[in-house]
């Protein structure tokens, strides 16, 4: 039982390139989300999903795209990478879509955009 698996762990991109960060879970949790972590900024919510076929924007959605075709997967797409997207990205899941509950985090994906 891996919980939340993120790939890749590290990635270097050139400005303008596109890529997808993968998030997979084996806990059958409804809620999945993507955060970015930047020094002095804490964690900021990019996009989230309360179930398959349902996604919504968080605090900083610009430049990112998501989809949720299955319960298990929630990929984050960078359409045209910019240096401002250099960050550490975390996928986090929760058992129920609403109400207080524990967020389970992945190990993070460190992205550098040159």
Partner 1 sequence: AQRVTQPEKLLSVFKGAPVELKCNYSYSGSPELFWYVQYSRQRLQLLLRHISRESIKGFTADLNKGETSFHLKKPFAQEEDSAMYYCALGAGTASKLTFGTGTRLQVTL
| Contact stretch for partner 1 (CB under 8 A) within 8-16, 20-28, 30-38, 61-69 | 30-38
Cβ at position 42, least distance to partner 1 in Å: 4
Count Cβ atoms within 10 A of the Cβ of residue 109 and give its class: 0-12 exposed, 13-18 middle, 19 or more buried. Answer: buried
* Inter-residue contact 103 to 93 (CB < 8 Å): yes
| Element (DSSP H or E) covering residue 57 | strand 54-57
CA angle 17, 31, 37 (to 5 degrees): 45
Cβ at position 43, least distance to partner 1 in Å: 4
N- to C-terminal Cα separation, the chain: 36
User: Could you give the string, one character per residue 75-114, with x where binding to partner 1 holds by CB under 8 A and - elsewhere?
Assistant: ---------------x-x-x--xxxxxxx-xxxx------
Among 24, 34, 48, 64, binds partner 1 (CB under 8 A): 48
**In the complex, which residues of this chain contact partner 1 (CB under 8 A)?**
31, 33, 35, 40-45, 48, 50, 58-59, 90, 92, 94, 97-103, 105-108
């Amino acid at each position: 039982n891996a919980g939340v698996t993120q790939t890749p762990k590290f990635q270097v991109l050139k400005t303008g390139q596109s890529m997808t960060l993968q998030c997979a879970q084996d806990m059958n949790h409804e809620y999945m989300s993507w955060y970015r972590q930047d020094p002095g900024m804490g964690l900021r919510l990019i996009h989230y999903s309360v179930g398959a076929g349902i996604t919504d924007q968080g605090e900083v959605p610009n430049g990112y795209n998501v989809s949720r075709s299955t319960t298990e997967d929630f990929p984050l797409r960078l359409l045209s990478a910019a240096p401002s997207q250099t960050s550490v990205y975390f996928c986090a899941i929760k058992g129920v879509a609403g109400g207080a509950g524990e967020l389970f985090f992945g190990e993070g994906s460190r992205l550098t955009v040159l």
